Amino acid sequence: MLRSLTPGVLGVLVRRGADFAAAEDAVQDALVEALRVWPDDPPREPRAWLVTVAWRRFLDTARADAARRRREDLVDEEPAPGPVPEADDTLRLYFLCAHPSLTPSSAVALTLRAVGGLTTRQIARAYLVPEPTMAQRISRAKRTVTGVRFDRPGDVTTVLRVLYLVFNEGYSGDVDLAAEAIRLARQLATVVDHPEVAGLLALMLLHHARRASRTGPDGDLVPLADQDRRRWDTGLIAEGVEILQTALSRDRLGEFQAQAAVAALHADAPTAAETDWVQIVEWYDELVRLTDSPVVRLNRAVAVGEADGPRAGLAALAALDDTLPRHTAAAAYLHERDGDWSTAARLYAEAARRATNLAERDHLTRQAARLNTR
């Protein structure tokens, strides 16, 4: 049976972006693991099991390679616009891991670990919790679904949340998962008629359109205001805006549509100075109403600082927990805008010490050094 499954599993990995030699190696590793595990614990879905194990083997190898070179040396796999011609089992696996017996947060964590290929540390960072806490959550989720028949797939909302986290990790992690998340979102949009599915796809496309300008030639982060907008992908922007407009016309607003609206306003501005910050604040107000997320409130405070002046932004920021990720960096930016360079430099340096991403840490360190030399 294993021999008959091999070509199909190999084809899935190649379609996901693995080169043929690496895919062959990963499939061979998965077959060896199957010979070891299956006699005592045969899977209900052998092909899906092999796809998952082989893909994770490939990701592990890719991470090891990425550690030896900078991210700009990675091949940029740009998602093609339009419908996806072929489907594989990945999207189905996302739904199966979002099982009704799990809480939404546990389902997301389990899917990211088992299917998305993210590490426990990456998932913990995305959820703003300590790594041991996330490890326990994933272990509990695994115990919960042990012995459960996967004949009741989970809901779309959980799958959307997983895809968004995978997409975000695609920019900050060692492996480029953003294109894979877009591919799956396109698949989902062809089978699920829901405005939030369209909203998420639009959001991904609008963010991905700026990909080429997010880092400089040396790999340094380039803030949105300083990006070369001539390098933005106008085709992806146009597609994202069209998808968003269609979703919004259905008058069933959700958080991904609102986030996409913010991204569309940024994409629509010819220059950073021409950004419609007043309207962006209004969309953040909608997001606060929909999610009551502290991260959304932090982003809103920065937008208020742009729309109504830095002191208004600092007042909004003061109402939030100062242990929030990027709270210190936001305060530094607003103090700089207010002309308080010494406070801003101190806060940039503090934010750099707290940063969990090397590129972000380097950027914040440079910001502090720039102000200290004034």
**Per-residue confidence (pLDDT) for residue 321, from 0 to 100:** 94
Residue 257 lies inside a defined structural domain of this protein: no
Residue 296 lies inside a defined structural domain of this protein: yes
Q: What does DSSP assign to residue 373?
A: T
**Per-residue confidence (pLDDT) for residue 68, from 0 to 100:** 42
pLDDT tens, 47-77? Answer: 888 888 888 888 877 765 654 443 334 334 4
**Per-residue confidence (pLDDT) for residue 178, from 0 to 100:** 82
Q: How far is CA 206 from each of CA 188, 216, 217, 219, 270, rounded to the nearest angstrom?
A: 18, 19, 22, 21, 15
Give the helix ranges, DSSP H, for 152-272: 156-172, 178-191, 195-208, 234-248, 255-268
Residue 312 lies inside a defined structural domain of this protein: yes
Q: Provide the CATH number for the domain around residue 319.
A: 1.25.40
Residues 6+ apart with CB under 8 A from 312: 304, 305
Task: Count Cα atoms within 13 angstroms, Cβ side, for 270.
Answer: 0
DSSP per-residue codes, 19-72: -HHHHHHHHHHHHHHHHHHTTTS--SSHHHHHHHHHHHHHHHHHHHHHTTS-GG
d(CA 168, CA 191): 23
- Phi and psi at residue 338, to the nearest 5°: -85, 0
Residue 373 lies inside a defined structural domain of this protein: yes
Residue 45 lies inside a defined structural domain of this protein: no
Residue 84 lies inside a defined structural domain of this protein: no
Which of these, 95, 123, 268, 286, lies nearest to 192 by C-alpha position?
Answer: 95
Residues 330-367 as b or e (16 or more Cβ within 10 Å = b): bbbbbbbbbebeebbbbbbbebbeebeeebbbbbbbeb
**Per-residue confidence (pLDDT) for residue 74, from 0 to 100:** 35
Q: What does the block give as tokens for 67?
A: 């550690």
The residue written with tokens 């799956």 in the block is 184
pLDDT tens, 244-286? Answer: 999 999 999 999 999 999 999 999 999 999 999 999 999 999 9
Number of compact structural domains in the chain: 1
Expressed as residue numbers, the domain containing 317 is 290-374
Residue 273 lies inside a defined structural domain of this protein: no
Q: Along the chain (374 residues), what's the average pLDDT of each consecutive run of 10 residues?
A: 75 79 81 80 84 84 56 42 55 74 75 73 74 83 67 72 80 63 90 93 96 86 94 96 96 96 96 96 97 96 97 97 94 97 95 84 92 85
